[in-house]
Structure 1
Amino acid sequence: MDIFLDSLQFYAPIFNNLILLLGVEYFNNGYFLGFFMQCVAKKIDEILPLDDKNMNKEEQNRKKNHFLYTIPLFLAIISDTFQMFYVINKVTNSSSQLSGLNCFLLISSAGLTLGNTINISHELIHRLTTLEQAAGFLNFVRVMYCHYPIFHLLSHHKYVGTEKDPIVAKKDETLYQYLPRQLWGNYVVSWKCENERLIQQEKTSLPQFHYKNRMIYNTLLQLAFPLLILTIYRRKGLYYYLWMVFVAVLEAEIVEYLEHYGLFVTKDNKVSYDCAWNCPQRYTNMSSFKLERHADHHVNAYKEYQISSFEYSWPQLPESYLFMMQVSMKPQLWFSIMNPRLESFFAQKEVPKEHQEFEKKKLDNFYKQQLLTHSIILLISFLF
C-alpha cells in the first residue's frame, strides 16, 4: 500500500496536462499551463517539504523495478500524445474561438510538457527491458529527436565531466552560445559515435553507408511524425507542430546546460557525484521523475528514478531546475549566482553565507519580475 501511495506523486505530469485542458475548455485561454509552470510551480516547491531523504537498502529493494513506478512513465507519454493531437486540432480548427495569440501561447505551453516527455524517454532508454526502451525511443520519434539515445549513451555518459563531453557547458559560456553548438552538435556527435561503433564492430571502412548504421534510419524516422501531421492537419498544423517540437527540444537543451554547467571534474573518465548540479525541490522532482537527482543518475545510470539518492555535499543549485531554466536565460544573473558556487565547489568549501544571502535577494527580485511579466501575458491572453 505504501508503494502505491508513494507512486501517486509521479502522476504530476498528467496533472500538468489537465491544467492546460482546463485553461482551454473552461476559460478559452492558452496560457494557463505556461503561467503555472513559470510562476506557480515555484511557490508549490516552496510550500512542499524538500525531497532530500534517501531510502535504506530494504526500501530500495522493495521499490526497485516495481511496476507501479513504471506506469506513470507510460501514462505520461500517452497523456501527452493525446494532448499534442488535441492542441494541434484546436489551433487548426476553423471553428475554434481561440485568438491567434492564444493559439501561439497554447502551442508554446504544450511544448513545455512535450519537453518533459523527453526526460521520460531518457529514463526509459536506461531501462533494461525491450518494451521500456522501445517506448522511450518511439517517444523520441514524436519529438524528432531520434538521435538522442546514441549521443547520450555512447558519448555523454561515457565522457561526462571531461573535456570530451560536448554537453558540459564551459564556465562563462552563455546559454545563447551553448544552444547553437548543442542543437546541431548533438546530431553530429551521434553520427560520429555510430561510425566509431561500426568501425569497431563491423570492421567497415564506410560506416556512414553501412546498413547497420542506426543514424541512417533515425534520420529518416525524424521525418515520420511531421509527415503524419502534414497529412492530417496540412501545412498550418505542421507549422504549429514544428514550433511545439522546437520549444520541447529547447527546453531539454536548457536543462542540459544547467545540469552540468562548469563541472569539468574528471580526467580519467571515472564518473563521480561531482559531475552534475542537483536540487531537492519536491514538486519539480515529482514532475520530472527525480531528474534533479542527476549526479546519482550518472554514477548509477541504470538505477530507477524512484530509488535515486540525494546528498547536500554534491553540487547543488539554489532553486529547482524549472526556475533555474528561467535564470539561465539572463546570463549576467546566471553567472553572478553560479560562478561563486562553482568556485566554492572546486575549492571544496561551502557556499559563503554572504553569497547565499546575495542569491536569495537576486532570485527573489527576479521572481517578482517574472511574476509581473507572466501575469501581464496572462491578462493580455484573456483580453485578446
Structure 2
Amino acid sequence: MDVAVTPWRDTKRPLWPLALVVPALPFIALLLATATGSPWAWWLTPVFILGVIPVIDLLIGDDRANPPDDAVPALQASPYYRWITYLFLPAQYAALVMTCVVWSGDPGVTGGAGLVLTAGLVNGIAINTAHELGHKRESVERWLSKIALAPTGYGHFFVEHNRGHHVRVATPDDPASSRLGESFWRFWPRTVAGSLRSAWHLETSRHRLRGRSPWRPHNDILNAWAMTVALFAALVAGFGLQVLPFLVLQAVVGFSVLEAVNYLEHYGLLRRRNAAGRHEKVDPRHSWNSDRLTTNIFLFQLQRHSDHHANPLRRYQTLRSFDVSPQLPAGYATMLLIALVPPLWRRVMDPRVLAHYGGDASLANTSAGYRPPHAPGGGAA
C-alpha cells in the first residue's frame, strides 16, 4: 500500500509580512499621540522593539526547522519573499518623512527623544533589509540596498560588508568582528572608523586596478553617499533647517543599531590559520546563532548567521540552523540591550565563548590584555 507523502510547505510564509510592522510602528505612535496629546506616545517604537519583542521572543521560543534541500530552489525563486523586502523601503521612507513633519512642529524634549529613537530604530533595522538585498546578484536589489542605507548615511556598508567583512570575518583584521573582553563601547569607535577606512580602500583599489579614477559616479560609496545628501537636502528643503539635527541624530542611532548587531554576531570567535598561514574557511562555528522565532521573523532570519556566511547568496527564507553553531542565550533584541551593559554582557557571554573553545582563551579572538573571568583581576580590556 502506497503511503501518501505530504509535500513540505513553509509554515512561516504567512508570518514574514510581520517584518513590515517595524516601519508601521511610527504611524501607530502618531495615532496614539494625536489621540492622547502625550509626547510619551513617541516612545512606542523603542518600547515595542526593545521591550515587547524580547518578551514575545521568550514566550514563543525557538524554531529550528529547516527547509528540505529539494524545496530550496522553489523557495529561492518565489517573488513573494522578495516583495516583502521591497515593501519595507517605501514604508521606511514614509516613516522618516512623517517623523520629520512632527519634529518640525517642535515635539519637546520627551517627544523629540522618542522621535530620534523611533526613526533611528526603523532605519537601523532597515540596514538589515539593505543587507538582505545587497547580497543579491540582481542589479535592482543592489540599488534598493543603497536606498535603504541612505537615511543612516551608511552607504559604505554596501561595500565593506560584502567585500570586507565576509572575507575577514572572525579574524583580528575585521573591524566588524568583536573580540573577547572588548566592550561594545570600545568596539563602536573601532568598527565605525575601521569599516569606513576599509570600505574606501576596497572601492578605490577596485577602480585603480582598472586604471581609472575612483572619483566617478560608478564608485559604489560615492553614489550611495550621494543618495544620503540628496535625501537630507530634500527633507531640509521641505521642512526647514531645524530637521537637520534630527536627521543626524537618528542616523547615529540607526548605524549604532547595526554595529550593536555586528558586535554580538561574532563576539570572541576566531578562524585559525592553516599550515599555509591563511585563515581557515568560514564555517558554522564562526557565528553566533539564535533560533528565536519572533526576532527571526522581524529580521529576515539574520540570526541564522552561520548559514548566511557560508552561503551569502541564499535568500532569508532558505537559511538553515546548524547544531554545531554556537548559540546565543536569547534573540538579537534582548542581546542588544545586554551588550549595552558591559559587566552584564561579560557575565553572560564570556563563559560561553570560553566553553566554545574548551576553556582556552588563546583559541578565541581576544582583546589585548584580556584575562578569563575566573583569573585574578580578570575582565575586559
Give the letter aligned to residue 120 of structure 1: T
Secondary structure (helix, strand or coil) at the match of 2:271 reads: coil
Aligned-partner Cα distance in 2 for 1:266–1:10: 37
Q: Where does residue 84 of structure 1 map in the other structure?
A: 96
Post-superposition shift, 1:227?
1.4
Give the letter aligned to residue 39 of structure 1: G
Secondary structure (helix, strand or coil) at the match of 1:165 reads: coil
Q: Normalising to structure 1: TM-score of the pair?
A: 0.83
Aligned-partner Cα distance in 1 for 2:151–2:104: 19
Q: Where does residue 117 of structure 1 map in the other structure?
A: 126
Q: 1:24 aligns with which of 30, 42, 47?
A: 30
Q: Where does residue 137 of structure 1 map in the other structure?
A: 146
Task: Give aligned-pair identity as a percent.
Answer: 22
- Residue-by-residue CA offset, 1:46-71 (whole Å, 9 max, x unaligned): 22241211111122232112111011
Aligned-partner Cα distance in 2 for 1:42–1:150: 31
Q: Where does residue 366 of structure 2 map in the other structure?
A: none
Q: Where does residue 201 of structure 2 map in the other structure?
A: 192
Given the alignment of the two structures, is residue 263 of structure 1 paired with residue 292 of structure 2, yes or no? no
Alpha carbons of structure 1 residues 3 and 89: separation in structure 2 relative to 1, 3 Å:
farther
Aligned-partner Cα distance in 1 for 2:83–2:238: 30
Post-superposition shift, 1:44?
0.9
Q: Where does residue 55 of structure 2 map in the other structure?
A: 43
Q: Where does residue 74 of structure 2 map in the other structure?
A: 62
Post-superposition shift, 1:9?
1.3
Post-superposition shift, 1:209?
4.8
Q: 1:322 aligns with which of 333, 340, 364?
A: 333
Q: Is the 8 A contact 1:3 1:63 kept in 2?
A: no
> Higher helix share goes to which structure?
1
Report the count of equivalent residues.
343
Post-superposition shift, 1:332?
1.0
Q: 2:311 aligns with which of 300, 313, 317?
A: 300
Given the alignment of the two structures, is residue 152 of structure 1 paired with residue 161 of structure 2, yes or no? yes
Given the alignment of the two structures, is residue 10 of structure 1 paired with residue 22 of structure 2, yes or no? no
Q: Where does residue 353 of structure 1 map in the other structure?
A: none
Q: 1:252 aligns with which of 258, 282, 305?
A: 258
Q: Where does residue 109 of structure 2 map in the other structure?
A: 100
Give the letter aligned to residue 33 of structure 1: T
Q: Is the 8 A contact 1:230 1:237 kept in 2?
A: yes
Q: Where does residue 127 of structure 1 map in the other structure?
A: 136
Alpha carbons of structure 1 residues 338 and 72: separation in structure 2 relative to 1, 3 Å:
same
- Residue-by-residue CA offset, 1:180-231 (whole Å, 9 max, x unaligned): 122222111111112322343x146xx5557754444444444222212211
Post-superposition shift, 1:179?
0.5
Q: Normalising to structure 2: TM-score of the pair?
A: 0.84
Secondary structure (helix, strand or coil) at the match of 1:235 reads: coil
Secondary structure (helix, strand or coil) at the match of 2:12 reads: helix
Secondary structure (helix, strand or coil) at the match of 2:330 reads: coil
For 1:252-291, what aligned pairs fall within 5 Å after superposition? 252-267=258-273, 268-269=278-279, 270-291=281-302
Given the alignment of the two structures, is residue 174 of structure 1 paired with residue 180 of structure 2, yes or no? no
Aligned-partner Cα distance in 1 for 2:147–2:164: 21
Q: Is the 8 A contact 1:125 1:136 kept in 2?
A: yes
